[in-house]
Amino acid sequence: MPKKEKPFSKKETPSQKKEIPHKENHPPIKDSEKEFLAFIKEAGLVWGPSPEIYGGFAGFYTYGPLGKLLKNKVENSIRRVFSSQGMREIEGPTILPDTVWKASGHLETFSDRIIKCSKCKAAFRADKLIEETRDVPADSFSDKKILEFIEKNKITCPSCKCALEKNIEQQSLMMKTQVAGEDASLRPETATGTYLPFPRFLTYFRKKLPFGVFQIGKAYRNEISPRQHVLRGREFTQAEGQIFLDPKTKNSWEKYEAIKKELLPFWDYKSQEKNSVVKPISLEQALKKKFINSQAYGWCIYLAYIQFVNFGIPKEKIKLRQHHPDEKAFYAEDAWDIEVQLDNYGWFEMCGVHDRTDYDLKQHSKFSGEKLEAQRENGEKFTPHVLEIAFGSDRPTYALIDLFYENKNIKEGKTTFSIPYHMAPIDVSVFPLMKKPELVKFATDIKEELERDFVVDYDQTGSIGRRYLRSATAGTPFAVTVDYESLENNDVTVRDRDTEKQIRVPIDKLRETLHNIFNDRLKFEDAGTPVK
Set out the domains of the chain in order of their start, with CATH numbers.
426-530 (3.40.50.800)
What DSSP string describes 182-220? EEEEE-S-SHHHHHTTHHHHHHHTTT-S-EEEEEEEEEE
Rg of the chain's alpha carbons, rounded to an integer? 26
Phi and psi at 517, nearest 5°, equal -70, -45
The residues near 449 (Cβ < 8 Å, ≥ 6 apart) are 510, 511
The torsion angle over the Cα atoms of residues 519, 521, 527 and 532, rounded to 10 degrees, is 80
The CA distance from 160 to 325, in Å, is: 35
Strand arrangement, sheet containing 175-179: 95-97, 182-186, 175-179
Q: Would you call 33 exposed, middle or buried from its count of C-beta atoms within 10 A (0-12, 13-18, 19+)?
A: middle
Q: How many CB atoms lie within 10 A of CB 8?
A: 10
Task: Please report how the helices 437-450 and 510-518 are oriented relative to each other, as an axis angle in degrees rounded to 10.
Answer: 50
429 and 459 Cβ atoms separated by less than 8 Å = yes
What's the distance, CA 40 to chain centroid? 16
Model pTM score: 0.87
358 and 351 Cβ atoms separated by less than 8 Å = no
Q: Which residues of 217-248 are buried (b: 16+ CB within 10 A; e: fewer)?
A: bebbbbbbbbbbbbbbbbbbbbbbbbbbbbee
Residues forming beta bridges with residue 175, ordered by sequence position: 186
Number of H helices, E strands in the chain: 17, 28
CA distances from 505 to 218, 440, 469, 518 (A): 43, 18, 21, 15
3 and 122 Cβ atoms separated by less than 8 Å = yes
351 and 74 Cβ atoms separated by less than 8 Å = no
Tens digits of pLDDT across the chain (532 residues) = 333 333 333 333 333 333 333 334 445 567 778 889 999 999 999 999 999 999 999 999 999 999 999 999 999 999 999 999 999 999 999 999 999 999 998 988 888 898 999 988 888 888 888 888 887 878 778 889 999 999 999 999 988 889 999 999 888 889 999 999 999 999 999 999 999 999 999 999 999 999 999 999 999 999 887 878 999 999 999 999 999 999 999 999 999 999 999 999 999 999 998 888 898 999 999 999 999 999 999 999 999 999 999 999 999 999 999 998 888 777 788 999 999 999 998 999 999 999 999 999 999 999 999 999 999 999 999 999 999 999 999 999 999 999 999 876 545 556 789 999 999 999 999 999 999 999 999 999 999 999 999 999 999 999 999 999 999 999 999 999 999 999 999 999 999 999 999 999 999 999 999 999 999 999 999 999 999 7
Q: Which residues of 116-143 are buried (b: 16+ CB within 10 A; e: fewer)?
A: bbeeeebbbbbbbbbbbeeeebbeebee
Instruction: Show the DSSP H helices in 86-178 as ranges.
Output: 98-104, 106-109, 126-134, 143-152
304 and 243 Cβ atoms separated by less than 8 Å = no
The CA distance from 423 to 143, in Å, is: 42
pLDDT at 473: 93
pLDDT at 61: 97
58 and 51 Cβ atoms separated by less than 8 Å = no
Q: Are strands 318-322 and 374-375 parallel, antiparallel or unpaired?
A: unpaired
Residues forming beta bridges with residue 444, ordered by sequence position: none
The residues near 196 (Cβ < 8 Å, ≥ 6 apart) are 92, 96, 100, 364
The torsion angle over the Cα atoms of residues 248, 252, 256 and 258, rounded to 10 degrees, is -160
The CA distance from 56 to 49, in Å, is: 5
pLDDT at 19: 33
The residues near 490 (Cβ < 8 Å, ≥ 6 apart) are 506, 507, 508
H or E element at residue 392: strand 385-392
Single out the residue of 420, 424, 159, 191 nearest to residue 309, CA to CA. 420
